[in-house]
Each structure stands twice: as C-alpha cells, then as structure tokens.
Structure 1
Amino acid sequence: MRDVLWTGIYGAMDEICRRSRAAYATAGFSQRASALAVHPLLDNFVWEALTSGWTEPAADHLRVPVAGDLDSPARWFRRDHPADSALAAHLRAAACSDLELADEPCTPDETFARRLTGACRLLAATVPELWQHTAPFVTRVFDIPSDGMSSASLDHTGGAIFVSSVSGDAGSEADRIHLAACLLHEAAHSKSYRIFRAFEQVRAPESPDFIDVPWWRSTGQTWAWDVDRSIVAAHVYSHLATFYDRLSATRPGLRRRRQQAAFRARFLTNVLLQLPPSALNPQWRDFIEWTASTIVPLGKLTDAGEKELSRPLSSFPLYRSG
C-alpha cells in the first residue's frame, strides 16, 4: 500500500518536530515553546551550528517564538518578531546571490496577501491532510515581484519563502491554482529542511551535477542536477503530484500536470536509489525510499517516458563513483 505524505516520521508534523527538537534545544530554544514557531533566523543559526559544529546557544532575540495562529496565513505577513528586520537584510543579501533575483524581498501588500490567502484556502479544501502537516513549517512569506521566478526558498533559512506577485491573470482561478502550487512547493521545502535538521548530515552528500534532467533540457538553464537538488526536488514533486491528483478529479485539464509531477518524482527517486552506499548514508536513502513510496500512480506513459524511467546509473556520463 502506498504511503501518504502526511504520515510517518517524514510526513507527520508532530513526528518531524519531535525528531528535530534536539537541534533547536541546543540553540537554547525552549521546548515549552511551539516547535512550529521557530523564526527563520533561528533556523539559520541551527543550520550553521550543525554544519560547523557550534555548540553555544543562539542570541536571545532569535529564540523568541513566532507569534500567530498556525492555521492562519495571517502569521506569514506579520513583521512583529524582534529578528524580522535582520531576516529581511539576510534574505535581501541571499536574493542578490543565491537566488540571483534583481528585486529585494518585501512584505506582500493587501492585494497580494488576499491572493495568497485564497490559494491557501484552495489547498486546505483540496489536500486538507497534506496542507495541515506542511503549511505550519512556513512562518514568513515575502513577495519578490519577479517574472523570472515564481517562488523560492533557502535550505539554510527554513520557514521563510519567496513568492512572486507578478501575474497576467491576477484573481483568476488559474492564478489561484498557480499560487497554491507555489505555496505547496515552498512549504514542502520548509518541511524538508526541518526533517534534515534531525539528520547526522544536514545536507545531502556533495556530488557533481550528473543527473541529466529530461524536463530541464530545453529551459536554457543548467541541464544537470546534483544529488542534493534531486532529493529535495523529488520530495516537492511528490507533494505537487498529490495536489494535482486531487484537483484533477474536478478539473480534468490538470491531469497532465499531475502526471508530469508524478513522473518527475519517480524519475529522480529511481536515479537516486541506484547510487551506491558510499554516496548516500542510510538516513538519506531511507528518506528517498519513503518519498518514492508516496508518489501517486503514473498511469500510461509514452515509450520515451518509459525509457527515461528505466535509465541505469551508468547512462549518466558525468557521474563519478567513489
């Protein structure tokens, strides 16, 4: 029986928080506070500590829990935390480098906040169990009015996400579905970052960009992905496939998106699970196996699609074992 994305040690919100609690406790974050009220800059501190071996507690202002109702998107737009100004500066610097975005992040205005809230309602109505166990990992949403990137997040600052307000059909159903997919995409990332805080290796092992991604070949962007990017992408695609699977029941026009997302998740997990033990420790392999078990059924594929899914690791010429 196929696993689902809102159960087990990698899917259930409470279990994910329980397993990652020690990382935040070391930083001085009170276990009496909600494990889902971690400010993104505290998560950044924890990430730095886990990757560099720091052991001292975080500064007092970072350890203040994020206020607001977990079930309401209103807390995404609040800027009342003592570390919010520093977070904006941190993300501004990241937007200029890591994300290569020209515009700095800003608080969504009232109009964009309404659009995002509508998208949140669509997710709550379509995939209520999944959204309940994913949305609370987001604590701050920023608008980057860019037409070149729909959404983004940083693996070292979990809980803060970027969504672009640029749309040619703002307020339409297509816009609401697009924003819902963006929110689910980045919320799944935030959830995965929390999962990884409980791992011995907070980041996947480094590898060359060797995975020839078939849907990326014509984008004009980097055509090959490394192990780290492929793991987090497979996790996101599994979430999107579940969303489009439910949504396409009443909107048949979305069935192709459902199959695309499911194919992408399956393709990446198939490649990753062929890696030798030296390339993935047991925790990462277990997470990939679990992700693979959550992917909705693919349905009928073209011959080309079947061929891509059956590619052996040796067919990727840039892969270097050992």
Structure 2
Amino acid sequence: MEFCRLELLIVSAILRLMAILLATAYDPLDPYGIINIKWDVMSWTPDGYVVSLPGWTLGWTWARKEGIWSIVGAQATDQGEWSKLKGNIPYCCKRNPAVVDLLPGVPKNHQFTDCCKGWLTWIVTCSYLQMLASKKQTCCVSLSSFYNSKITPCPSCACGCQNEHNCAMSQPKISSVVESNTPVLQCTEHTCPIRVHWHVKSNYKEYWSVKISITNFNYWMNYTQWTLVAQHPNLNNITKVYKFVYKPLMLYNSLNETGMFYGVEDYNDLLLEAGPDGNVQSEMLLGKDKNRFTFHRGWSFPLKIYFNGDECMMPPPDSYPFLPNSANLNLVASSTLVTFLLLIMLVIHHSNGH
C-alpha cells in the first residue's frame, strides 16, 4: 500500500513538472508582453462620443506576493499598506492594484507614449492584417530551420497578386518593356521585388547560427547601398557576422535587440537585378543566453524585418517551422527532466529495497 501511494506521488510530480515545462510560450507578435486596451464605441452624439469618467481603469490580481516597484505614465488608485514592510519599499503593494491615467502636465520623466490625457482622450489600437494595412508592400520574409524540413514561404500575394501584376516568366526584352509596358517583376506567389530568407542553420553548446539571404526579383532594378534592419531578442549578443557589415541600433534606451545589416563596399553593397547574381547572403553567429534561448514557439525567428526602410511582410506565426512534437522541450528543460527522472528511479529502487 505504501509503495502504491509512493507511485501515485511520483506520477503526480511528473505531471506537474511537465505542465510547468510546457506552459512557457513565446508570442512573436508580442515579445514584451504589451497590453493594448481596445475600445468599442457603444454610442455617440452629433458633437462627439459618450465617455464615462474615468476613461479607463486597468486592474489585476497578483498570483503571489508581487508588487509594483515603479510605474511611468499612470498611477495606482491605492498604493496599499506599507506598515509591515521594511527596507526598500515598492510603489504599490496591493494584491489587486488598479491603475489609471495621469493628468496632463506631469513632468516628462513621469510620462510615457500616449499617456497623460486625464482619462478623457485615448488611443485606439486596432488589430489588423499587415497585408491590408500596407497595400504597397515591397518585400517579404520566408523562414526555414535545420530542425524542421518545412520551409515557410512568403505569404501569397504579399506584394500583390499575379492577376494584378502582369509579371514576367523570364527576363523581358527592353523593346517589349518600352512598347507594351511589360512589368519588370519575376512571377512569384508573393509578387515582391525583394525576398528576405531567414534560416536557422545550426546549434552549438554556447552558440547558434543564422543564415540570411536577400533575393532581388526585379529584372530592371539594382539596389545600391541597400540596408536590412532586423529585430530579434538575441541580436544583443552577436559574436560574428560574415559577408555583411552589422551595426546595432539602440531604439529603446539600452535595449539593443535591433540591428542594421548592409553590404561590404565594392563586394556586395550592390544587389543586382533578378537572375543568378540577384542575391546576397550572410551568416551570423549568436551567443546563447541560457535564461532566454529556446527553439520553442518560433523564438529563433525575427520579430520584424525592414529592407531599405520598408517593413517586410512576415508569414503568419502559426505557419513557422516549429520544433517537432518530440522535441518541444528546450535543452535546459530536457536536462532538468532527465535529472528528475533519475532521482525518481533512485527513490523507487530504494523503496523496493525496503
């Protein structure tokens, strides 16, 4: 009876551990956990909208004993009771804080983007399809990886559709271009002049590598001194970049997860027209941060790509080449699970001995 109870406890512990390991997920569309407050206008008058005061209140309940140490652009309606706290005191220690907007005119160091409207004005954040929002897309992104045979192509009609663009199956003659205004783009499913391909190439103990390829599908366009900007959380730890020049871009104070690539002068800074020479390629080696690195949930792919200042169309997140089901635990989680199972085997062996 005691041994059966021990087995039940072991199974329960395994299930809990598996739930913890599999619960972590990464959303490539929301890498920083940003909360956008969306509004529905329920009624309006000839001279405006009907809005109750205050305009918005954001509240939640902490799971444990968390608190708010600092806040910018808003304020808590109640900061809680500090009498039992010693030492470094948080801004708010309530288990269920409520946060509202600040009034206009607060000091600059207390403001944040689109804040401080006194609850009366708000910014509406709408969910939209990038394809519909940017109808003149000029580039797209395709994805692949060494751990999945699937290749995720550029979204179909990312820059238009073939029936909208009378594309050319082969390089048109100059006379036909002039006489019949034949389009200069090579026929593709995406119909973009530029495609950027991001390939997760290899995985080592301390490093992992990515290959970037830029292909020109425009028969009569050479891109001189092109630039490619990428956003990825591991760009803050680039070890080596081959064949391209790389410069980090500090967009958010000390956050350097965005960088710019461009060609080496007189080598590949000229991206030639469509054809065998109409592409440039590079590889980069990135150091691993064991607290963040994972191949799970598409983390290894870029958040955004820009070519010559234009944002490129990314594939939908559910089409990414994810890890196979048999390998959906990252390296750290797998080693933890193995250690845990070995410990369980020792416990069972010890129990059988008694």
TM (normalized to structure 1)?
Answer: 0.25
Q: Which has the higher strand share?
A: 2
Structure having the higher helix fraction is: 1
Q: TM-score, normalised by structure 2?
A: 0.23
